[in-house]
Structure 1
């Protein structure tokens, strides 16, 4: 099967391919086979990409998708309030059905906004049925996803059997793959963290770890001293880490995931985007939690740019598009498959409208997307060459039925937890 994206503004994110003001992208059997000013493919299905930017699909490498049902309720919460609400109040009331529907609709929301690859950082662990429901939801979404199984949050419970069980089912093939969500040493101690990293190495799993410092702790230096830094680990947030600790991550080949909206709103401090770049890291971007922030990458890029330029005037729009595509794909170990418009890679592509009045005229594509982009521009989405969104609508998805299931789930959980849904919920840590 051949598909030709014809006449678009191609922003490839691959220096060897470059950008094209007017160009074509040929996809054969799910793989990009050619990029050029004009490609002759008379036997291909043609997608008219005129008045469109053709961009690699966005990659969100850190989102807790199980919280989708409570979108927007935490816009005014601090981090301790969020933790008290999500982990301390509602989590215990989730059934496998709740996990399934909130994960599926959350994944579809991300796909709808152009996020073709998403790492689902799962820490609503109750039992095996809940984990299986999350995996099933990701598989039912026509998208590339990484199921990042987090151990029992802030406990030292053994996790070997749990991780091995899911790993036997979720392999490195197909659209849904697996990662290991580590517990921090401040929660469980360095010995537990070392054991989890050893297990990850044995099972060939990449890892993700929330970290940061209030200025008194040195979590990365502690890991470095014990030989626990890896090129397969993505550190999430990192606010308050020392510049030398950022260089330790960079020297080890590791990654940093910045969630700028959450970090600014919840009191984490300034996002680490600029400091990470200065330390030799390629920072990546993620959404984190939609009870508090928007679930699209446009908002994350805009927040990161505004915060950093307000601090020191550094960082540019092109940096952020790289953070949200190729660099984030590399952090997930998927840059050989996705993240740029490169012949030989799978066709995870998005077509963004340039004739929409909110961005017209588009003179500088990168500048326009970061300064003014929004999900309403996402006209067409392809995942592994399959068109999963066309003319602004997801293909083959019964959204009314899913919305009804999600509302029923939210209302049941809220009633069981005894929390209001009228905007007055003010969690007390």
Structure 2
């Protein structure tokens, strides 16, 4: 039944705001957080994990990642968004076979778990055939991560094909039997990238299937940002649950419109800065009342761990001209990576904090490394400013231990790396 007692760690909780609880235990019963406090008794059947000398906190939430891309990691440094669209989506993506998708998504999801990311929005723009889609979902399920699968139709069946395939995926892979690890969203291209007509069909499909939308919007230029919001307003779509990915060209007033419609934002600070997509809008979105989250986006041009993302968001925000972002704190950065990230992707009642009743998605970080020593001075600042993937000792998803003593469990990582290398040879061979 996934009963655990995480004993004697330095606990950080994040709801409503990141707070250092102090030295305490976290009790997990039936895969859910049952209590947080000092000296909790361990049930007879509970696995006890000694967290002495470690920081214990909720797992991180990545709100937008093209998870299939590990085989082409770091292949596009020093590039622009135009380069990315041409080389990654135009050249390398079509070379991926279903087996390459499975390998890449499994490797990408395990990379997340290895780094303490327990919840992932997989923005899956690799679905050229039903076999590609099925391989993608199968890999997410096999990984053991908590994921929102973003359905982005890439077939040649037109709008009718998009709708039919979306219904098949919803029926075959996702049901309403309970809050399992995998849920589904519509990953929409339009209107910025796919045009208004496609966007209408994407939102209609989302409403027909009762699914949220995750959409790249506001990240091209100022005119496209204004035009996109006008499209949503004119078609009465502003109130449909949607995460706006990037939003770098939204004005402060635009963010207020999004907040008024109940929308959320996913900021990818490293790829936005690296690809010249505009200044990451983390603080501006939050100031307008929009739940704002962090995402890795793509490992072809940036890092894939939340420590890098938190630091990038924190430093870029505080570097805004005229000191406009100096109010953004390390606590704000941690919040966007945990409970606010969960709010942004519609999972705030499921994960993102250690509130009793939530799924037990928990991370234990070592503080006995030179880079994290003396973390007790300010544990939250230490996580944001000093943490890295080396310090991720233990990762728990829904009460199930998926990493322990610095090692991923349940998977043949060496064999997966061999498969990933073979996939990379196939995808890049034509260059």
TM-score normalised per structure 2: 0.93
* Structure 2 unmatched ranges of 5 or more: none
Of 336, 343, 351, which residue of structure 1 is paired with 2:356? 343
CA RMSD of aligned residues (A): 1.8
Matched, 1:278 2:287: yes
Distance (whole Å) between structure 1 residues aligned to residue 101 and residue 397 of structure 2:
24
| Equivalence map 1:27-426=2 (5 Å) | 27-41=28-42, 43=44, 44-152=46-154, 157-158=159-160, 159-169=162-172, 170-172=174-176, 173=178, 174-212=180-218, 213-217=220-224, 218=226, 219-230=228-239, 232-311=241-320, 312=324, 313-362=326-375, 363-415=377-429, 418-419=430-431
User: Post-superposition shift, 1:326?
Assistant: 1.0
TM-score normalised per structure 1: 0.93
How big is each residue's C-alpha offset from its partner over 1:253-294, in whole Å with a ceiling of 9 and x where there is no partner?
110000000000000111000111221212110000001111
Distance (whole Å) between structure 2 residues aligned to residue 248 and residue 47 of structure 1:
46
Instruction: Report if aligned partners of 2:9, 2:54 keep a CA contact under 8 Å in 1.
Output: yes
* Structure 1 unmatched ranges of 5 or more: 420-429
Determine the structure 2 residue equivalent to 1:20. Answer: 21
Distance (whole Å) between structure 2 residues aligned to residue 22 and residue 259 of structure 1:
33
User: Post-superposition shift, 1:121?
Assistant: 0.5
User: Post-superposition shift, 1:376?
Assistant: 0.8
Q: 1:183 to 1:101 in 2, by over 3 A?
A: same
Instruction: Report if aligned partners of 2:114, 2:408 keep a CA contact under 8 Å in 1.
Output: yes
**Partner secondary structure for residue 223 of structure 2:** coil
How big is each residue's C-alpha offset from its partner over 1:106-155, in whole Å with a ceiling of 9 and x where there is no partner?
10001100010111101112110000000110111011111111123999
377-386 vs 309-318, greater mean Cα deviation: 309-318
Instruction: Report if aligned partners of 1:60, 1:115 keep a CA contact under 8 Å in 2.
Output: yes
**Partner secondary structure for residue 124 of structure 1:** strand
Give the length in aligned residue pairs. Answer: 417
Instruction: Report if aligned partners of 2:125, 2:154 keep a CA contact under 8 Å in 1.
Output: yes
Distance (whole Å) between structure 2 residues aligned to residue 227 and residue 76 of structure 1:
40
How big is each residue's C-alpha offset from its partner over 1:76-135, in whole Å with a ceiling of 9 and x where there is no partner?
221111111111111221111000001101100011000101111011121100000001
Distance (whole Å) between structure 1 residues aligned to residue 291 and residue 402 of structure 2:
30
Distance (whole Å) between structure 2 residues aligned to residue 299 and residue 153 of structure 1:
34
213-222 vs 102-111, greater mean Cα deviation: 213-222
Distance (whole Å) between structure 1 residues aligned to residue 168 and residue 202 of structure 2:
15
User: Post-superposition shift, 1:246?
Assistant: 0.7
User: Post-superposition shift, 1:225?
Assistant: 3.3
Distance (whole Å) between structure 2 residues aligned to residue 46 and residue 108 of structure 1:
24
How big is each residue's C-alpha offset from its partner over 1:138-177, in whole Å with a ceiling of 9 and x where there is no partner?
1110111111111239996441001101000223542111
Instruction: Report if aligned partners of 2:192, 2:216 keep a CA contact under 8 Å in 1.
Output: no
Instruction: Report if aligned partners of 1:224, 1:248 keep a CA contact under 8 Å in 2.
Output: no
Instruction: Report if aligned partners of 1:154, 1:183 keep a CA contact under 8 Å in 2.
Output: no
Distance (whole Å) between structure 2 residues aligned to residue 245 and residue 405 of structure 1:
45
